[in-house]
A and B are shown apart, each in its own frame.
Chain A
Amino acid sequence: MIPFDSATIHRARETMLPARRLCSVSAEALKTEQPADSRQRGNVGTGRPSVDLRTRTPISSATLPEVGFRRSPAQIHPHRKAIMRPECSRSARYSWEALPTGVAPFRHILWVMRSPPTRRGISRRTVLAGVPLVQVSAVAASAASSASAFTPDQMRLIDAVVERFIPSDELGPGAREAGVPVYLERSFAGHLSRERSAFSEGLAAMEVAARARHNTAFAQLSPAQQDEFLTAMERNEVSGFRPDSRSFFIRIRQLTLEGMFGDPWYGGNRGFAGWDLIRYPGPRLAVSAEDQRLREPIKPLRTSARGGR
């Protein structure tokens, strides 16, 4: 969580809106309406999974095409002249079709595609005609500027920290093996890009404090020393953080949980290691009363909501 201080706001305002009013819902505003994590949406419009179907591993972000809409809306929906909205993406349809549960196809699809007609005044088509082009350029721009979220040193630190949070042991893979660093890297390259500098400051503060205490990088410490250091952070006993070490501990722990237990489509939870660990039975389209009984084990279903298994 970033403090909403006036400097941040001022900066955001400077970059977001040069002039009042008329440009408000133009490129910059649209950009925030589009997913910032463009590479995670690299399959938009292509129907391609971002997880390798055979190996269950996510296709690395580098190999994903950095594009938004590859085809014009008319090509995607030749029967329909309205714009292709991001929420109508084919990747979404793909993912639901990939779920193996035997629920009947959705007969409600059609009404959603039918936008309400404009009776008077301007037509929707006129107003929205330029939108898809703006989307493509906005998405491409944000992808280009976020080729790499962290330096190799920062990645080594992240790797070491998340592995101490969730170590590999007899209970199964740890955070590193499950791809949690990949989740963080992709998140900060995309959705969390505005938090990147604050997060990098926190990482730097960790390194400074580790060197001050042990005269070496955090990643070089022994596991026991690392645990001791993290515990001190949690107790708010390490200085140099903004606002304090406990806040940064909570933030990086929360991100670790997201990577470990979120949908594998985002880069973590590789091989469903996180869901196996907490015995989460997995998302499914429909759930019977039998799967809501006390004590009874539920047969796990291992599939991503975004396609791939």
Chain B
Amino acid sequence: MAIKLKPVDVAIIGLGGAGGVAVLPLAQAGLKLAGIEAGTWLDPHSFRPDEIYNNVRGWPDSVQKANREVPTVRNSPNGPILPRPAVHAMMNAVGGTTIHYWAQSWRLNPWDFKVRTRVIGRYGHSAIPAGSTLEDWPLTYDELEPYYDTVEHAIGVSGKAGNIQGKVDPLGNVYEGPRQREYPMPALRSTGFTELMRDAAIKLGWKPFRPPAAINSEEHNGRSACVFHGYCSRGGCHIQAKNSTAVTTIPAAIKTKNLTVFDRAHVTRIGVDANGRASGVTYLRGGKEYFQPAAVVLLASYTYENTRLLLLSKSKAFPKGLSNSHGQVGRHYFGHWVAAGNGGVIALFPFDLNVWYGTPAQGMVLDDWADDNCDHSGLGFIGGTNLHVYNEMHPIQSAGMETFGEPTFGSRWKSFIHQNAGRWNTAHLQTSTFPYEDNFLDLDDTVLDPLGDPVCRITSLPRPNELRAVDFAQRKMEEWYRAAGAINVVRRPMNPPGVSTHAYGGTRMGDNAETNVVNRWGFSHEVPNLGILGASVMGTSGARNPTLTVQALSWRTADHLARNWKSIAL
């Protein structure tokens, strides 16, 4: 029998990028919070410039919950399960994957919030991809803007504004929506390589700029500036210049004395009372089972786990899974189409690029073909791609480079990599991705986690719209590399995304309870005191990293809860 704990106001499942932000406005409002986190506090002493530890083995010392329940992937509804990835893309820790993410902190483009209306208005109904379940978001960019602004300042984001209250600055992103003020910190410094790419883009008549990042470009809130040591990708920051929630909002919330963190706590179910309201959270910790009663439950694990936990939490009131009476949990799922690494565009230059160090957010980007920034008439797809070139290359990764037709082993290969391991580059191309009728998450009864619960199953099909968009972007990327002096470029075809660090949907946000799980404020249509945080509520991806949008939405849901506490909790 579970040990029953004293009730709290709000139980938050997961203290990562989403839950780790939501705790701050709630704690500041005086609510008593239990932060229930599967991982634990990580010590910056364990953050090493060690590719095998960080990238190859995926932090073997950290809590491995995510790795024990990696979703299975199929590329068709009745197809075979594909091979399992070596390590899960996400990690368990206080701060979650913001400990080791690239920290790219983008706002979505205003277009991303109203894709359906805007596409039909510009290109007609036939332009909506066949089989898609695309809906407009229930809110606009302007409604989210104050929360973007709040989060940018709460965690600290460096960047250069391209549009302050309508005043456009070509040093920033001229395509972005209007923002109320400049970033709290200037953009991360340029490098020889990013300047080379910037000059090439300008020569082509394009509009390059430096991307925003939750990384300190100067000392900020008592933490030092980035030292560009080159192990940021899947690496923790040894000087805390990366603004993970573990060093920003979570410590600030703890300081209010209203947040208690329960680490190494493995949530198994969300409880429901006789009235169909969430009653609390059941979790395992140190070999014992606990039940944490709460007036409000916020589900803030990762996209896959959000859906899985709801489907596993069956009750008399919700026999198909919590908040799933309309069968929408797991629907409208999509992994981001990101052509990158050895699956993207790879370029070889005739000179040393010296991109060993730095951080991926220290890059040069183009939005000229993102979102709806160019006319898509006749292109055969909607949405677009942000083109991103960046710094940071690790030695195993660099030696594993594309060989451009040369042998892949032996003395000749050895001499090839001796010359070229420091001369190649690969771009990060993020393409707008949309939900479809037969892309979804459910439970895989043939694969169980160590507790005997089925893992999540991804069904992810090839999509003509996204395939065409990726192909278009890859050609533009090749043009960009060649203009910068690349002597060889290959474009690799992309497969449908599998287990992704950018996973969306499953608990989509929308006004229509028949097709969405949560309402415009992030609370369940069916369970009024259950809020859901994370990219699982997003109905479109945009052409860029989701984290800042996830955090702005989380802050907004938390703020709404604090302001309407009586009507939601009682």
Would you list which residues of chain B between 186 and 202 have a CB under 8 Å from chain A? 189, 191-193, 196
* Whole-angstrom distance between the Cβ of A268 and the nearest chain B Cβ: 9
Note all chain A residues with C-beta closer than 8 A to B64: 32-33
- Per the bound structure, the CA–CA distance linking A137 and B464 in Å amounts to 54
Chain A contacts of B57 at CB under 8 A?
A: 191
Known: A25-B287, A103-B227. A281 touches B450 (CB 8 A): no
Near A by CB (< 8 A), chain B positions 441-456 give 446-448, 450-452
Contacts of B193 in A (CB 8 A): 292, 294
Closest to B258 in A: A119
Bound-state Cα–Cα, A284 to B86, Å: 28
Asked if A62 CB lies within 8 Å of chain B CBs, one says no
Q: Contacts A85-B40, A297-B352 known; A280 to B421 CB distance under 8 Å?
A: yes
Q: Give CA–CA (A120, B259) in the complex, Å.
A: 11
| A89 at interface by CB-CB < 8 Å | yes
Q: Is A167 in contact with B72, judged by CB distance below 8 angstroms? A: no
CB distance from A15 to the nearest CB of B (A): 10
Stretch at the interface among B42-50, B125-133, B301-309, B329-337: B42-50
Which A residues are CB-close (under 8 A) to B284? 21-22, 24-25
- B325 — which chain A residues lie within 8 A by C-beta? none
**Is B475 part of the binding interface, using a Cβ–Cβ cutoff of 8 Å?**
no
- CB-defined contacts of A79 to chain B, threshold 8 Å: none
Chain A binding surface SS class? loop
Taking the complex as formed, is A212 at the interface, i.e. its CB lies under 8 A from any CB of chain B?
Answer: no
Q: Is the CB of B46 within 8 A of A127?
A: no
Tell me the complex Cα distance, A199–B398, Å: 25
Stretch at the interface among B100-108, B174-182, B405-413: B405-413
B408–A24 touching, CB < 8 Å: no
Per-residue B-contact encoding for A267-305, CB less than 8 Å = 1, 0 else: 000000011011111011111010111111110000001
In the complex, which residues of chain A have a beta carbon less than 8 angstroms from the beta carbon of B56? 258, 262
Q: Does A92 contact B (CB under 8 A)?
A: yes
> Are B414 and A292 in contact, CB atoms less than 8 angstroms apart?
no
Q: How far is the CA of A257 from the CA of B403 in the complex (A)?
A: 14
Contact B357 A274 (CB under 8 A): no
Per-residue CB contact flags for chain B residues 1-33 toward chain A (1 = under 8 Å, else 0) read 001011010000000000000000000000000
Interface contact A280-B356, CB-CB below 8 Å? yes
- Contact of A144 with B by CB under 8 A: no
A113 to B286, CA, bound (A): 20
Asked whether B285 lies within 8 Å of A87 as measured between CB atoms, the reply is no
A283 to B83, CA, bound (A): 33
B46 x A287 contact (CB < 8 A): no
Interface presence of B239 (CB below 8 A): yes
B425 to A: closest C-beta gap in Å: 12
* Contact yes or no, A121 B229, CB < 8 A: no
Enumerate chain B residues within 8 angstroms of A122, measured Cβ to Cβ: 3, 5, 290
Would you give the 0/1 interface string for A155-182, flagging 1 where the beta carbon is closer than 8 Å to chain B?
0000000001111010100000000000
Q: Does A17 contact B (CB under 8 A)?
A: yes
Nearest CB on A from B278, distance (A): 19
Contact A87/B43 with A116-B261, A128-B286 known, Cβ cut-off 8 Å? yes
Contacts of B189 in A (CB 8 A): 289
- Cβ of A100 within 8 Å of any chain B Cβ, yes or no, is no
Among B6, B45, B414, the most chain A Cβ lie within 10 Å of the Cβ of B45
Q: Which residues of B contact A20 (CB under 8 A)?
A: 451-452
Q: With both chains docked as a complex, state the minimum distance between the C-beta of B10 and any C-beta of chain A, in angstroms.
A: 14
B356 engages A262 (CB within 8 Å): no
Q: At the interface, yes or no: B568 with Cβ under 8 Å from chain A?
A: no
Asked whether, in the complex, the Cβ of B351 is within 8 Å of the Cβ of A295, the reply is: yes
Q: Could you tell me if B450 and A29 are in contact, using CB atoms closer than 8 angstroms?
A: yes
In this complex, what residue of B is CB-closest to A116?
B261
Most buried by A among B61, B196, B262, B452: B61
Would you call A16 an interface residue if the criterion is a C-beta within 8 Å of the partner chain's C-beta atoms? yes
Q: Report the separation of the CA atoms of residues A32 and B51 in the bound assembly, to the nearest whole angstrom.
A: 20
CB-CB nearest in chain A for B4: A121
Question: In whole angstroms, what is the CA distance A147 to B57 when docked?
Answer: 21
Q: Which of B46, B51, B70, B238 contacts A87 (CB 8 A)?
A: B46
Q: With contacts A25-B287, A121-B5, A169-B414 known, is A286 near B51, CB below 8 A? A: no
Taken together as a complex, chains A and B put the C-alpha atoms of A113 and B49 apart, in Å, by 21
Contact assessment for A280 and B395 in the assembled complex, using a CB-CB cutoff below 8 Å: yes
CA A287 to CA B50, docked complex, whole Å: 16
- Residue B515 interfacial (CB < 8 Å): no
Question: Do residues B49 and A9 form an inter-chain contact, with CB atoms below 8 A?
Answer: no
Does B422 have its Cβ within 8 Å of any Cβ on chain A?
Answer: yes
Stretch touching chain B among A52-60, A104-112, A203-211, A214-222: A104-112
Within A55-88, the residues touching B (CB, 8 Å) are 85-88
What are the residues of chain A within 8 A of B409 when measuring CB–CB? 164-166, 227, 230, 253
> In the complex the two chains form, what is the Cα distance from A212 to B450 in whole Å?
42
> CA–CA, A218 to B420, complex, Å?
31
Complex contact B191–A121 (CB within 8 A): no
Chain B 58-88 per-residue mask, 1 if CB under 8 angstroms from chain A, else 0: 0011111001101010000000010111100
Q: Is the CB of A121 within 8 A of B6?
A: yes
B229 x A285 contact (CB < 8 A): yes
Q: A22-B287, A25-B266, A262-B51 are in contact. Are A293 and B46 (CB under 8 A)?
A: no
Q: Which of B72, B86, B353, B417 contacts A278 (CB 8 A)?
A: B417
A13 at the interface (CB under 8 A from B): yes
**B84 x A294 contact (CB < 8 A):** no
Instruction: Determine the distance from Cα of A263 to Cα of B99 in the docked complex, in whole angstroms.
Output: 22
Given contacts A88-B45, A254-B400, A261-B399, contact A277 B358 (CB under 8 A): no
Quick check: B196 and A294 within 8 Å, CB to CB?
yes
Q: Taking the complex as formed, is B381 at the interface, i.e. its CB lies under 8 A from any CB of chain A?
A: no
| B227: A residues at CB distance < 8 A | 103, 285-287
Nearest chain A residue, comparing its CB with the CB of B251: A111
Contact A92 B192 (CB under 8 A): no
Q: Do the beta carbons of B285 and A25 come within 8 Å of each other?
A: yes
Q: How far is the CB of B490 from chain A (nearest CB, A)?
A: 18
Of all chain B residues, which has the CB nearest A31? B64
B52, A266: Cβ atoms closer than 8 Å = yes
The answer to the question of A26 belonging to the interface, with a C-beta cut-off of 8 Å to chain B, is yes
Neighbouring A residues of B251 by C-beta, 8 Å: 111
Q: Chain A CB within 10 Å — which of B53, B223, B292 has the most?
A: B53
Q: Are A294 and B354 in contact (CB under 8 A)?
A: yes
- Residues in B whose Cβ lies below 8 Å from that of A297: 352
Q: Do residues B52 and A258 form an inter-chain contact, with CB atoms below 8 A?
A: yes
Whether the Cβ atoms of A106 and B396 lie closer than 8 Å is no
Of chain B, the residue at the smallest CB distance from A128 is: B286
CB-defined contacts of A244 to chain B, threshold 8 Å: none
Q: Are A293 and B45 in contact (CB-based, < 8 A)?
A: no
A298: chain B residues at CB < 8 Å are 354, 356
Interface residues in A17-56 by Cβ distance below 8 A to B read: 17, 20-26, 28-29, 32-37
User: A residues within 8 Å of B by Cβ?
Assistant: 1-4, 6, 9, 12-13, 16-17, 20-26, 28-29, 32-37, 85-89, 92-93, 95-96, 103, 106, 108-109, 111-113, 115-122, 127-128, 130-131, 164-167, 169, 171, 191, 227, 230, 234, 253-254, 257-258, 260-263, 265-266, 274-275, 277-281, 283-287, 289, 291-298, 305-306
7 A-B residue pairs with Cβ-Cβ distance under 8 Å, sorted by A, are: A87-B46, A96-B48, A164-B410, A169-B411, A260-B399, A263-B51, A285-B227
Closest A-B pairs by Cβ, 8 of them? A283-B49, A294-B192, A4-B84, A286-B227, A278-B421, A127-B286, A292-B191, A87-B46
Known: A86-B46, A118-B262, A293-B354. 18 other contacts (CB 8 A): A6-B447, A9-B448, A22-B287, A22-B288, A25-B266, A25-B285, A25-B287, A96-B48, A108-B240, A108-B247, A109-B45, A127-B286, A164-B409, A234-B408, A280-B356, A281-B356, A283-B229, A306-B48
